[in-house]
Amino acid sequence: VITNNITMATASVSAAASNICIPAALTLVGRTSFRTFRNVWMLEELGVPYHQLPVSPWSAESKRYHPLGKVPSLAVKFISSKDAAASKNFHMYESVAINTYLGDVYRYGTTRLPVQHDGNDNSRGTLHLHNYLVPMAGTPERALYEQWVLTAATELDSQGLWIHRKHQALGKVFGHIPEAVQHAQEHFNKVVNQILLPHLLETPNHPYLLGCHFGAADILWVHCLDWAESIGWGTIWTQDTTNSTESGVSNQNNAKAIQALQAYLKRCRSRTAYLKTIAKREAEKQTHLDTMRSKI
């Protein structure tokens, strides 16, 4: 039985925690309107300070951090340039990788944990989990986390939403291919019908994908479902149109599955960090629009 209880040997946990370097500064690159939304939401959930460069893909600034000029990217800085830890300064990209890193590095909060010693000279870390956003490596929960985020990234996003973005929204750049877009939507619906809906039905007492605790997997899936709604692909859960023969649940359970999905989305979208991210995205949109108008 998979639970959210993480058990490890005390010495092993202490060693892992002692190897974590807490960044001195984080810079998130990319406007919140893009996949950067996932990372802003994650950072808001963690409550850690960060600076954001609200730049667009393929801009000169975005190319400083991503060889293809894509967003988001995250620049991580430790202490100062005079400190030995400065050699660990780095930047990374891919929204899922960024959130996984953030969940790992801030698992115990924003400061290093003291290590206590007992009378037998055995190290005992006073470890208290700060969050459950990303499960600990090597646990069954982490395996399922990887499964959920990779399914969203490879099935919902790259084979579904990105195809629409590439061959419809950006058709003038990449070419309009209606057949590809139609197939992408069908594939997206299939993933929701055969993976997400059955899971929600099978785990009615779990408020989130991995159980009792909200996590980074929920951030990714909700963002993908939000994106789908914004392009008119959300009819599976926004309307009573769930009679697809490809559904992984029986017809009599369709209504229950849709209600479960709607409740799940409402639960995630009511979170303070999500609402802050929405507000930031809308403010950025207005600023971007005002800037574009001023150039006319």
Question: 228 in helix, strand or coil?
Answer: helix
Q: Taking Cα atoms as reference points, which of 40, 29, 27 lies closest to residue 278?
A: 40
Element (H, E) at 38: helix 36-46
User: What is the rounded average pLDDT of the residues 92-101?
Assistant: 98
Residue 241 has pLDDT above 50, yes or no: no
pLDDT grade, residue 118 (50/70/90)?
A: very low
Residue 243 has pLDDT above 80, yes or no: no
Q: Tell me, what's the pLDDT at 7?
A: 43
pLDDT grade, residue 20 (50/70/90)?
A: confident
Q: Taking Cα atoms as reference points, which of 41, 94, 74, 23 lies closest to residue 214?
A: 41
Helix/strand/coil percentages in the chain, nearest 5: 55, 10, 40
Location of structure tokens 């579904």 = 160
State the Cα–Cα distance between residues 80 and 24, nearest whole angstrom.
8
User: DSSP code of 166?
Assistant: I
- Taking the CA atoms of the chain, what radius of gyration do you get in angstroms? 21
Of residues 254 and 231, which shows the higher confidence score?
231
Of residues 161 and 116, which shows the higher confidence score?
161
Phi and psi (nearest 5°) for 51? -110, 140
Signed CA dihedral, 203, 209, 210, 215: sign only: negative
pTM, full prediction: 0.86
35-57 pLDDT tens trace: 999 999 999 999 999 999 999 99
Q: Tell me, what's the pLDDT at 11?
A: 42
State the Cα–Cα distance between residues 274 and 276, nearest whole angstrom.
5
- Decide: 84 and 52 in contact? Cβ < 8 Å: no
**Cβ neighbours of residue 102 under 8 Å, at least 6 residues apart?**
39, 42, 43, 46, 48, 74, 133, 134, 216
167-179 pLDDT tens trace: 999 999 999 999 9
β partners of residue 74: 28, 92
β partners of residue 123: 117
- Decide: 163 and 184 in contact? Cβ < 8 Å: yes
**Cβ neighbours of residue 271 under 8 Å, at least 6 residues apart?**
45, 214
Question: 116 in helix, strand or coil?
Answer: strand
β partners of residue 115: 125
| Distance set, CA 31 to CA 14, 35, 103, 158 (Å) | 37, 8, 21, 20
